Structure 1
Amino acid sequence: MNFDLNEEQRLLKDAVDRLILDQYAFDQRARYQDQADGWSRQLWAQFADLGLLGLPFSEADGGFDGGSVETMIVMEAIGRGRLLEPYLATVVLAGGLLSAAGNDAQRAELVPALIGGQLLLAFAHSEIQARYDLADVATCARQEGDSWILDGAKRFVLHGDCADKLLVSARVSGNRRDPDGIALFLVDATAEGVSRRGYLTQDRLRAADVTLSGVRVDAAALVGEAGDALAHIDQVVDAAIAALCAEAVGAMEQAYVLTVDYLKVRKQFGVAIGSFQALQHKAVDMLVMIEQARSMALYASMMVSDPDPLERRRAISAAKVQIGRSARFVSQQAVQLHGGIGVTEECQIGHYMRRLSMLEFMFGDTDHHLAQLARDGGLIAANA
């Protein structure tokens, strides 16, 4: 199997890498973080101009028909630069759901604005009692004539504080953990009955808690069929996990580069500490873990479009387990090799450790996915 990038993919990688190199130095990121949204609207417009926001959408919807490999390329660059912008929230998660479940009218209205950078979407699904169970939805929606009334609360909505519209999951039938009976609704973030509490996450990105109290939406706000949304949610969350795996690889790669550079300039006993064999071994161990993670991230990107949900879930869980283990090892070693300055605000390594720690817990931590993989019979079935 050929794992080399084709010409278009190489051009994409060069363009994104150049953007990160030019626009996302350590001090530049700090300035973006101090802006009103916690990220740069100007840089978001550059994403739109480069076509990055339209990358995964179909040509029929105005996009570029990019696949999971193109998303992986972008997310690796995002990981290297620790980008603050809502690419995962708007393009991968909410945009993915809109592409998978939205009707022609919804896509025609919303996708061009999203691709142009004028529309921000956020996926409001997680609830306080659900932990990692995607089917655990207590937010309810009841029908009144031609309208739906939504009540409930959503937690940790990525970039939900700046979104123009929320893609909200709500239960229309069944018990709280039933896989059937979940629907998706497009809700204006400023609609009556919607309240948002935005906050900084541990890695200095943004999220929000969203409360819906008697929020009325019309029938056109329903995305897909009422009660059949979980299959779409499962598939898009798997795509998001594959994207996060790629982001983690980019972050680990940059943490490794910074650490090796530090070993070359930090001196002890009159020589660079990189000349000490024990520290060279640690650096090699970091590189091995990164390459293992890269292989699994590529595997996840290949399998994310698999039509068999069980095979796809096995691959995604296996990748998440390896990514979690590699991320923890690489970030801890990077901080250790930097010594005390590794955990200061002025040193980049501590910031990479924060982001990698957050990535491990998003959409299921290492233990959760290891247990899931065991329940599914392992990555390679026992009778294979």
Structure 2
Amino acid sequence: MTRTIEELIPEYIRGLPAYVPGRPIEEVERELKIRAIKLASNENPLGPSPLAVEAAKKALAESHRYPDGGAKRLRETLAKRHGVSPEEIFIALGSSEVIDLASRCVLRPGLEGITSEGSYAPFSLAIRASGARLRLTPLRNYTFDLEAIGKEVTAETRIIYLANPNNPTGTAFSHAELEEFLGNVRDDVLVVLDEAYIHYAERADMPRSVELYRRHKNLLILRTFSKVYGLAGQRVGYAIGQEGYTRAFNQLKTPFNTSNVGQAAALAALDDAEHVRRSIENNQRERRRLVEGLKSLGLRPAPSETNFVFVETGPETPETCDALMRAGVIVRPLGWMGLPEAMRVTVGVPAENGRFLAALEMALSTRTDRKELAGR
């Protein structure tokens, strides 16, 4: 009996939703014939480090050569910065690659993975793509509820995904909370801690993750060059983890998973402390401005430790996001992440944030639920 191509694919893969990227700015400008700004994908509005750009240009001239498949120089540099061995560093095609590889390493049908509702979608996808059972816990005050996650752990649990700060809500839990959580999790459960936005956090009690890693060998820390370093287009991330895990990742990854251009840009970006400083300062200043502007419109944005702001704008949020896009302002509606009444807005430069707030005020003024929105 002939089987269709779809029938040859396991059911647990056929049922997976595809990741939904933000709309490219070029596509919106072509469609609407306007000059647009993109505040949807949490990119660094100051762009990449000038040092990284120059390093990338030089590396591009050697693009006829395969890159260093082990990213030796980048691993050694990061290992020195974090006080670990190079063998504890895995260089990845963005931190998203490690999210996938971690589940592939420890999960199989019959086992379980845990993460939270209202968090980064690839966590759930990685668990389900491994054929394992996905367990989800609700957010508490827009933040990972570590106590609730701990109660969901069973004998079949092998992996837990945490994002701190969380995407898309921007909130964070503390060092003490994570320390207590790790103390209550079995050693055979891998805890994946995604710290993509860690450089933007201002609260004083953020987890000192590498310190905790030295005491908890089942902790895997993820970082990326896509955010504060401004290299989202180069797709370079890394993990800090026990050599057993990093060795397994190297066995599973595709050959030459990061380019010579990406590696060179990442190395140069690490040396550009001034660019990082300016990026963080702009974010702190403009994030406060966005929060105050949203509050002045009667909204209640969630507290943010990131380079974006999460805000609920009621049942008409999809229509409001459409109105913003027609005004040339691209933000991220979050219905596809199970948050249909919320949007996420990247912190831009002053002119971009001013344009967003003006466009949002106009969009809200036409809504039928304006009075109800102010009372939320």
Band of TM-score, shorter chain: under 0.3
TM-score (norm 2): 0.25
Q: Identify the structure with the greater helix proportion.
A: 1
TM-score (norm 1): 0.25
